[in-house]
Amino acid sequence: MRAFYGAGGSGRRQVRHRRDTGSGIFAPDDQGRGTPARSCITPVDKVGAAAITTIEALERDPVGRQVQKAWFDLEVVQCGYCPSGQLMSAAALLASNPNPNDADIDAAMSGNICRCGTYPRIRAAIKQAARAIAKAREEG
Ligand code: FES
């Protein structure tokens, strides 16, 4: 296990006990293809030996870096309550689906609640990140 949620990083949220928000999501990582999981309801012993990616490590991942950049470029964040979970879910989506359509995005992000209602910007940011990742891959 490379890291685990709550290891002293900045991604922790006070709301993590609420299983319905998606704000405390981490992505158990299997060869770079993580499946988002809610840290508030996933015991560490259920993760086993799988590596875990947290929000703190997202910038070291090429997909995660583009997702973070798109969030910043499009000024997605308003209050800062939901971004950790949103970013982790978006990165996991783009790691498994490099060109998601609106339905793919809505399905992948459906567990993440944004009380500020930034959903249109979240969708736009995911599409921007997808384009940037594709361009980077073309350029080698
Ligand atoms: S930015 Fe405020 S809850 Fe999403």
What lies within 8 Å, CB to CB, of 51 at 6+ separation is 1, 2, 3, 28, 29, 30
Instruction: Write out pLDDT tens, residues 49-104.
Output: 777 778 888 888 899 999 999 999 999 999 988 898 899 899 989 988 999 999 99
Q: Give the pLDDT confidence score for residue 37 in this predicted structure.
A: 76
Query: What total number of domains does the chain contain?
Result: 1
Alpha carbon nearest to ligand 1 atom 4, residue:
114
Q: pTM higher than 0.85 for the full model?
A: no
Instruction: Write out pLDDT tens, residues 106-124.
Output: 999 998 889 999 999 999 9
Distance 139 CA to ligand 1 centre (A): 34
Distance 126 CA to ligand 1 centre (A): 16
Domain holding 114: CATH number?
1.10.150.120
C-alpha separations of 69 from 3, 74, 84, 131 in Å: 23, 9, 14, 12
- The parent domain of residue 120 ranges over 14-138
Ligand 1 atom index nearest CA of 82 = 4
Q: Is residue 32 part of a domain?
A: yes
Q: Is residue 7 part of a domain?
A: no
Q: Is residue 2 part of a domain?
A: no
Pocket test for ligand 1, best of 25, 115, 122 (most atoms within 8 A of CB): 115
Q: Give the pLDDT confidence score for residue 98 in this predicted structure.
A: 94
Q: Is residue 9 part of a domain?
A: no
What lies within 8 Å, CB to CB, of 120 at 6+ separation is none
Q: Is residue 72 part of a domain?
A: yes
Q: Which residue has the higher pLDDT, 29 or 91?
A: 91
Q: Give the pLDDT confidence score for residue 2 in this predicted structure.
A: 30
Q: What is the mean pLDDT of residues 32-49?
A: 74
Q: Is residue 49 part of a domain?
A: yes
